[in-house]
Amino acid sequence: MITKQDIVDKILVGHMEQPTATAEAFAPSNIALCKYWGKRDVELNLPVTSSLSISLGKLGSRCRLSFCNERDQVILNGEELANDSTFVVRLSQYLDLFRKEQHSRYRIETENTIPTAAGFASSASGFASIVIALNKLHGWNLPDQKLSILARLGSGSASRSLWQGFVEWHVGEDDEQGMDSFAEPLQASTWPELKIGLLVLEAGEKEIGSRAAMHRTVETSQLYKSWPEKVNQDMAKLKQAIATKDFDHLGATAESNALTMHATMMAAQPPVLYWLPQSVTTMKKVWQCRHEGLPLYFTMDAGPNIKLLFLEKDKSTIINKFPSLVIA
């Protein structure tokens, strides 16, 4: 089996180390309009389908990286984390892939520029910012596609967090090494009027993590078999909607894609239901708004929170209806 280390070694070969003392980077969070749901290779985070996201501007992760001795140090939002915390263990294992010498260690200062309670996933922007900083710190000078692959090895959706705007993560055809499964910006696509807002319905711990939920869905959900075809259709629809700036087409497609992802989970055995009672209330409220003529759609990730999609022109109306909205 090909390991993460094999891929990192392959990517770094020929790229001279030209280390600096310290490196800084920022990467935005991203919200998938067409979801990444299911891996065809768990070790390499190779997806079953392509996916498409929009990045969240200034909301994301900042990272300052330097070398240090003895042990990795992780400072998150100004506080040093315990060495045995889940986050530090996962991060250290990832950094093992890049240590120039066995004994070299990293000091990572990272900050999320999103209110933590806002519930935007930070692993995507976190891993992406670390990869950008690693590239600078070591002086590898890697091209973006390679950085995207490295970010993917940390967290699948991190592959999409290296850019602003619309980003497509290509499924790729290389099942052995996944060297063609990277993200890149959708060409000639800007849409400043498109807005994303987040409604936080719960800050608590999820009953099942998204990796486990994804795995269970792929393994046990009868409906998952229809998911790849759904994605193929939605990717084409979204690209067309973006190209023509057709907001209703974009919103309806993104909403349907998210509902379908959640539907595949509910059909898993045992079922995975991230929804809270308020998730249902909120979805119905969005539909009611739309029924009344307001162009408003939602998307949801592997959790109960709901992200609203709307246009700049309707911002104040929507804030009125959803006062707790956090707008990206």
Q: Which stretch binds a copy of itself (CB under 8 A): 37-45, 145-153, 166-174, 270-278?
A: 270-278
Exposure of 57 by Cβ count < 10 A (0-12 exposed, 13-18 middle, 19+ buried)? middle
75 lines the binding site for a copy of itself (CB under 8 A): no
# chain residues binding a copy of itself, by CB under 8 A? 32
- C-alpha span between 7 and 145 (Å, rounded): 13
> How many residues are there in the chain?
328
Q: Name the segment binding a copy of itself (CB under 8 A); options: 42-50, 74-82, 87-95, 250-258.
A: 250-258
CB of residue 251 vs a copy of itself: minimum separation in angstroms? 12
CB of residue 266 vs a copy of itself: minimum separation in angstroms?
A: 5
Cis, bond preceding 270 (omega within 30 deg of 0): yes
Residue 319 touches a copy of itself, criterion: CB under 8 A:
no
Rounded CA separation 282/288 (Å): 10
Q: Is 273 an interacting residue with respect to a copy of itself (CB under 8 A)?
A: yes
**Closest CB to a copy of itself among 120 and 297?**
297
Whole-number minimum distance, CB 281 to a copy of itself, in Å?
A: 5
User: In this structure, what token pair is assigned to residue 28?
Assistant: 């935005």
Chosen residue from 92, 113, 189, 278 binding a copy of itself by CB under 8 A: 278
Residue with tokens 């499924």: 171
Contact flags string 208-247 toward a copy of itself, x per CB under 8 A:
--------------xxxxxx-xx--x--------------
> Residues with Cβ < 8 Å from 50, sequence gap 6 or more?
34, 168, 169, 170, 171, 231, 235
Continuous H helices in the chain: 4-12, 86-95, 123-138, 144-154, 210-220, 227-244, 247-266, 277-291, 315-321
x-or-dash string of contact with a copy of itself, 141-160, rule CB under 8 A: --------------------
Nearest residue (CB) to a copy of itself, 89 versus 252: 252
Question: Residue 292 CB: number of other CB atoms within 10 A?
Answer: 9
Selected binder of a copy of itself within 75, 267, 294, 327 (CB under 8 A): 267
Contacting residue, 78, 192, 277, 323, with a copy of itself by CB under 8 A: 277
Cβ closest to a copy of itself, residue 71 vs residue 284: 284
Among 266, 294, 319, 327, indicate the residue that binds a copy of itself (CB under 8 A).
266
CA distance 215 to 253: 24
Selected from 209, 280, 317, 324, the binder of a copy of itself by CB under 8 A is 280
Applying CB under 8 A, among 284, 312, 317, 324 the residue interacting with a copy of itself is 284
CB 137 within 8 A of CB 67: yes
User: Distance between terminal CA atoms of the chain?
Assistant: 41
Q: Are 296 and 311 in contact (CB under 8 A)?
A: no
Long-range CB pairs of 76-82, under 8 A, 24+ apart, other chains included: 76/110, 76/111, 76/112, 77/110, 77/111, 77/112, 77/116, 78/111
Min dist CB 44 to a copy of itself, Å, is 27
Judged by CB, which is closer to a copy of itself: 34, or 149?
A: 34
In the complex, the residues that contact a copy of itself under the rule CB under 8 A are 222-227, 229-230, 233, 252, 255-256, 259-260, 262-264, 266-267, 269-271, 273, 275-281, 283-284
